[in-house]
Amino acid sequence: MGEERLTIVFMPESAYGPTNNCVGIGKILERRGHRVVFAAEASWKGRLAPLGFEEDLVDLAPPPAEEQDAGQFWTDFITQTAPEFRKPTIEQLATFIEPVWSSLIDGATYCEPQLREILDRVRPDVIVEDNVNCFPALLTHGAPWVRIVSCNPLELKDPDLPPVFSGYPSNDRSGWDEFRAEYERVHRPTWERYNAFVVDNGAPPLPDLEFIHESRYLNLYLYPEMADYPRSRPLGPTWHRLDSSVRETEEAWSVPEELADGEGALIYLSLGSLGSADVELMKRLVSVLADTPHRYVVSKGPRADEFELPDRMWGEARLPQTSIIPHCDLVITHGGNNTTTEAWHFGKPMVVLPLFWDQYDNAQRVAELGLGVRLDTYGFEDQELRDAVDRLLEDRPLRERLAAEGETIRSRDGKRKAADLIEDLGRRARAGLLD
């Protein structure tokens, strides 16, 4: 390839969104001849090597007695805590958000020795982390590290923007201060505990009430310019926006025969690998949408065998999402950051039914920009959902606008931009050009 081969370690969060984001970027680097190693969570065993990557995996908890599906820990966690998603976001801070942080912290604490062994063995030129919490080993090993934020950019806080996880509107500050105060009340002890662990393991102190550092080398966040937030405090020069990061490793897809010749629009329904674990919600959505004249491709999720699909619907447990969305006229989604940015990448309107984490923020952003409809996930009326579908399908100006925006997003080729920046960082590190 005319340049030195770099060794690049990716450590994504153990969920499909961050892992798939890293897969898309990593595949470009692998095709350029670089050695790409995934220090992913152990349940991803055998899923990454077929894509051309090395697997050197970590356990975030004592290994289970039986082999688990990829991301099974979080599927189980969401299934157990689903009742919390019916609460207002400010109430979820204590009953869902803080327990998630605590679980993430426990995982980082458990795997720290193993992660250090992996880095000593692999000897990376660059370390790439797509996580919401830090791992001290990644910061202290000696190689430059890259932070990827594949969450709603409200995670990068600004006093003139709504608090992350709130789902509050940008043009109405009522509730912002109350939400921030409750976040601090609930999370201060957890943060203090984690900060002590981080410092004890040789990393710099965490920023106040943050669970991850900003990299002094390179920071990337995933959100298109047309939907990004106006900031009162611009991000620093190490920050780069990726308008999208859509992987090309999924298999080709064509409309199934049972849907190919039907009338009505073709609609993709997915609550993500975690949200779809709420089987009762999936059953309700399928039942309500069955009373429309449209055809549906349904990502049934990890509990696919627990519900059936009616006529004009087809689905499986796992689907090649980025190969399906281009065929569809509308996306009904939970508002996960990857699905949201992928829908924009392909220029599709959305109905968003948020469940947890930053999904409320994405749902609100879609709605306040007029790019789709946000509904109360558990409180919507049946006809509300059907009306939202019809309204978006009939809105030709919106569809034309999104199609044009999608072309612009695709032309910016976010994952190639990320690969270029990571590769450049590795080469500068090899040449001794970093401070």
**Residue found under tokens 């059953």:** 283
Residues 322 and 359 in one domain: yes
**Residue found under tokens 């620093």:** 236
pLDDT single digits (tens) 67-105: 656 556 656 666 677 778 889 999 999 999 999 999 999
Determine the Cα–Cα distance for residues 158 and 150; give it in Å rounded to an integer.
18
pLDDT single digits (tens) 286-314: 999 999 999 999 998 877 788 889 889 99
Q: pTM for the complete prediction?
A: 0.93
Residues 424 and 326 in one domain: no
Residues 216 and 277 in one domain: no
Nearest to 421 by CA among 236, 155, 145, 227: 145
Question: Is 1 within a domain?
Answer: no
Whether pLDDT at 248 is above 80: no
Q: How many domains does the structure of the chain reveal?
A: 2
Residues 202 and 265 in one domain: no
Residues 171 and 273 in one domain: no
Residues 183 and 146 in one domain: yes
The pLDDT score that the predictor gives to residue 249 is 65
Question: Is 250 within a domain?
Answer: no
Residues 125 and 264 in one domain: no
Question: Is 80 within a domain?
Answer: yes
Looking at residues 419-427, what average pLDDT do you find? 97
The pLDDT score that the predictor gives to residue 71 is 52
Residues 425 and 397 in one domain: no
Residues 191 and 114 in one domain: yes
The pLDDT score that the predictor gives to residue 74 is 57
Residues 135 and 219 in one domain: yes
Residues 241 and 275 in one domain: no
Question: Is 192 within a domain?
Answer: yes
CATH code for position 324 = 3.40.50.2000
Domain that holds residue 235: 7-245+413-430
CA 181 to chain centre: 26
Nearest to 372 by CA among 340, 336, 342: 340
